[in-house]
């Protein structure tokens, strides 16, 4: 089977490793040894040991993520820990078989694993060096809340031009009434209220107004200042402290903002220090050569005269090529329409790349890629990649479908290929849910649908007794369409809708449409035959691998594994468990 053909089956390949659990569990109990809790060095807690390979919570996270990615296709029928354990063991056994074939040393696995290792190392470095140190104290959160949510009452008067604003400011200084002038001359939305804005918080005010108003004394005038509405004059009426009743509601937002600001500051300090240790040289000519070019569809992309040219060098770290920067610019310019704005962003994007290179180099230099927690997670990702590759490139690739056998198989499984039926539907639309529920109940009790429609319906089908004609469901489109395709005469659906438009559907007749012809569904027949063969091969593979496997279950750690794939407590060494797909 070709790679393109098996690509279509990747979701199936990932899901089927668990599907054989009911067939293979008989081989399990004799091979399982119960032991006490252990950990692999200072890494993540070990849940299983499969053929001597420790399996940590990270492997469970990988399995959970894929199980939940499959959920739209397979349905989520509750969390089954036995199924999860069975799947993880299968994944590890298949990965071990792939490793025996040397697939872990081949691309793309080797490159993907290496990139993931660096990604985790950088994430751990950022967390320990920046994020953990950026966490604000409760006292800082309270002080920030009091500052950001301090309230002011003020009046504003906005004019279209600076000259008008200056003239009105002189009249206000001469003692004329602010409210009267605002009503007569202001062009903003507050003019009808005499320009009055009550209980505005520091956070709510626009920056240009905030800077002025909080520097004034009550009764003082400020401005004119240019705002989105025009040239604005303001007068401070009074200050009020933050409303303590809002603290519980707002403290999360305040904490997040403090954390973000502290992280930005700490990262800048770190990058400045690293840049001093590793001087950066930028070739301005190469940078300037990456001019924005507009495509026929309006998108902007960078011109790259020499992709291999070096835009910047970081002493002791490496270099950024023109093509690397161009790729980052393509991503940045996806939503940029102005060529001028695109050109101005080139240095910003380069600076971001240089910051990332410096931080990555520091993380690797300090050994974060060798951290035991990183190693556990990398091993889990590698197992996941290897298991999927083995299923695709070894198991699936060995399956051949005999074309001559396809039509006989179709004849033996013809009921799988029925055309959707035609349904005659009656639709009744009412304005409120209570009436809709009453109509649905009457329909289920056998009341004539046409009579119900003429009496209650408010839609265009009412005059026809609700008859909206024949309809052919499309079961593959949605769960509702699937249920509709299975409906029999007398089935009632609903009510569904919203206030003013509640709909009840009643199936009044059903006509079967027979089967699709073999030629119409030959592709589906081939896929179905492949799926059957794949399940058989997978079952045989899992049974064989489990037969001689040594599997240890660490029951204490397994008992602590929560449904979200994490443990109840962080380990003493501070390793992180993360979350797996919930």
**pLDDT higher than 90, residue 170:** yes
Whether residue 45 contacts residue 56, with contact meaning beta carbons closer than 8 Å, is answered with: yes
pLDDT tens sequence across 49-63: 999 999 998 888 888
Q: Is the entire prediction scored with pTM above 0.75? A: no
Query: Is 3.10.50.40 the CATH classification of the domain at 420-511?
Result: yes
Number of H helices, E strands in the chain: 22, 17
pLDDT value of position 6: 36
Which of 43, 42, 47 is CA-nearest to residue 64?
A: 47
- Mean pLDDT across 378-403: 95
- Mean pLDDT across 433-460: 93
Domain spanning 150-241, CATH architecture: Roll (3.10)
Question: How many Å apart are CA 55 and CA 69, to the nearest integer?
Answer: 21
Percent of the chain with pLDDT over 90: 70
Same CATH topology for 150-241 and 420-511? yes
pLDDT tens sequence across 86-122: 999 999 999 999 999 999 999 999 999 999 999 999 9
pLDDT tens sequence across 498-528: 878 899 999 999 999 999 999 999 999 999 9
What are the extents of the domains in the chain?
Answer: 150-241, 276-365, 420-511
pLDDT value of position 70: 57
- Mean pLDDT across 237-262: 92
Q: How confident is the model at residue 562 (pLDDT cuts 50, 70, 90)?
A: low
Where helices occur in 70-222 by DSSP H, the ranges are 71-74, 81-100, 109-126, 138-148, 162-173, 178-185, 207-213
pLDDT value of position 1: 40
pLDDT tens sequence across 146-164: 998 999 999 999 998 999 9
> SS3 of 258, please?
helix
**pLDDT higher than 90, residue 27:** no
Long-range contacts from 461-470, C-beta under 8 angstroms, 24+ separation: 461/426, 461/427, 461/429, 462/429, 465/426, 466/426, 466/427, 466/428, 466/506, 467/424, 467/425, 467/426, 467/508, 468/425, 468/426, 468/427, 469/424, 469/425, 470/422, 470/423, 470/424, 470/511
pLDDT tens sequence across 473-499: 998 888 999 999 999 999 999 899 887
């Amino acid at each position: 089977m070709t790679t393109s053909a098996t690509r279509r089956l990747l979701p199936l390949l990932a899901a089927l490793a668990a599907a054989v659990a009911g067939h293979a569990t008989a081989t399990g109990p004799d091979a399982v040894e119960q032991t006490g809790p252990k950990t692999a060095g200072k890494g993540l807690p070990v849940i299983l040991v499969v053929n001597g390979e420790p399996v940590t919570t990270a492997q469970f996270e990988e399995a959970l993520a894929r199980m939940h990615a499959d959920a739209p296709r397979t349905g989520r029928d509750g969390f089954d820990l036995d199924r999860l354990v069975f799947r993880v063991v299968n994944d590890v056994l298949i990965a071990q078989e792939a490793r025996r074939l040397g697939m872990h040393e081949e691309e793309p696995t080797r490159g993907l694993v290496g990139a993931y290792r660096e990604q985790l190392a950088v994430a751990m470095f950022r967390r320990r060096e920046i994020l953990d140190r950026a966490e604000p104290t409760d006292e800082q959160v309270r002080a920030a809340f009091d500052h950001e949510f301090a309230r002011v009452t003020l009046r504003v008067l906005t004019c279209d031009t600076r000259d008008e604003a200056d003239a009105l400011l002189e009249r206000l200084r001469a003692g004329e009434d602010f409210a009267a002038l605002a009503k007569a001359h202001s062009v903003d939305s507050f003019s009808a209220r005499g320009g009055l804005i009550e209980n505005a918080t520091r956070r709510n005010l626009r920056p240009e107004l905030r800077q002025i108003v909080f520097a004034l004394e009550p009764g003082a005038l400020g401005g004119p200042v240019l705002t989105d509405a025009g040239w604005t004059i303001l007068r401070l009426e009074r200050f009020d402290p933050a409303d303590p009743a809002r603290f519980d509601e707002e403290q999360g937002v305040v904490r997040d903002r403090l954390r973000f600001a502290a992280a930005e500051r700490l990262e800048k300090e770190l990058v400045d220090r690293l840049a001093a240790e590793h001087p950066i040289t930028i070739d301005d000519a190469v940078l300037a050569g990456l001019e924005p070019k507009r495509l026929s569809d309006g998108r902007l992309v960078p011109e790259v005269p020499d992709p291999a040219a070096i835009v910047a060098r970081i002493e002791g770290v490496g270099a950024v090529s023109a093509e690397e920067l161009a790729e980052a610019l393509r991503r940045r310019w996806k939503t940029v329409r102005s060529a001028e704005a695109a050109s101005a962003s080139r240095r910003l994007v380069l600076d971001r790349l240089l910051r990332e290179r410096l931080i990555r180099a520091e993380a690797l230099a300090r050994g974060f890629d060798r951290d035991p927690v990183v190693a556990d997670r990398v091993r889990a990702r590698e197992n996941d990649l290897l298991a999927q590759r083995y299923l695709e490139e070894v198991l699936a690739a060995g399956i051949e479908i005999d074309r001559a056998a396809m039509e006989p198989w179709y004849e033996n499984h013809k009921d799988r290929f029925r055309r959707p039926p035609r349904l005659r539907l009656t639709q009744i639309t009412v304005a409120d849910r209570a009436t809709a529920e009453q109509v649905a109940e009457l329909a289920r009790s056998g009341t004539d649908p046409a009579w119900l429609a003429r009496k209650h319906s408010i839609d265009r089908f009412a005059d026809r007794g609700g008859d909206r004609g024949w309809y052919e469901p499309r079961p593959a489109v949605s769960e509702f369409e699937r249920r509709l395709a299975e409906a029999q005469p007398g089935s009632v659906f609903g009510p569904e809708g919203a206030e003013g438009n509640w709909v009840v559907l009643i199936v009044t007749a059903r006509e079967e449409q027979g089967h699709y012809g073999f030629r119409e569904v030959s592709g589906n027949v081939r896929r179905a035959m492949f799926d059957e063969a794949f399940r058989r091969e997978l079952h045989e593979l899992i049974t064989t691998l489990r037969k001689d496997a040594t599997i240890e279950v660490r029951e204490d750690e397994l008992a602590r594994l929560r449904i979200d794939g994490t443990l109840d407590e962080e380990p003493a060494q501070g390793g992180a468990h993360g979350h797996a797909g919930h």
